[in-house]
Amino acid sequence: MSFTFRCLDPQADAPLLHSWVTRPYASFWGMLNATVEDVVGEYARIQSSGHHHALLGIDDGVPAFLMEEYLPESSPLNSVYAVQPGDIGMHLLVAPPQATPRNGFTADVMESVLERLFQKPGVERVVVEPDARNTKIHVLNARLGFEPAGEVNLPDKQALLSFCTREAFHAARAARSSKPTIQGASL
């Protein structure tokens, strides 16, 4: 599966993002009660920060996910772990399905995002800090090579700090691609 990425435009993309972040499945995103103006403000702040950047992932011309990349040393993470050279932080939110959900779609999205991040010069490790209660993302993270480092207290949540090295990602990717499929669906 091949996705493309484009820079998020806070003003133009806010109505679309608002329709994603205010749905119950996105509760861990922390914007369930946000207004469109709140979304504009949050993403304008992110895009102008110099250390945090948001992109839309496009699937066959349709926005399919939101990806954020950030420098951990410029985030609240800098006070909860020893940031290493080559670390990059990542957030990911997949859009609600427009039709019949595709088996393995979210894993394909995550794989594409990780591939993009590891293609950046100097990136050796991807850092994530999802809410500790978000068990679905912990399973997906493990499937793609993330290793939990333990729970940490952040200003907005109790998070499960996890790391994915380049080597762990490539091993997880190889394991995914070697799984048999039945009529195009991953097992």
Per-residue pLDDT of 75-84, as tens digits, reads 999 999 999 9
How do residues 38-61 score in pLDDT, each as one tens digit?
999 999 999 999 999 999 999 999
Number of domains in the chain: 1
Residue 187 has pLDDT above 70, yes or no: no
Q: Are 146 and 164 in contact (CB under 8 A)?
A: yes
Per DSSP, the three-state class of 168 is helix
CATH number of the domain to which 27 belongs: 3.40.630.30
Whole-model pTM above 0.85? yes
Above 90 in pLDDT, residue 7? Answer: yes
Domain enclosing residue 61, as ranges: 4-186
Predicted local distance difference test score (pLDDT) of residue 180: 59
Spatial separation of the C-alpha atoms in residues 118 and 86, rounded to whole Å: 10
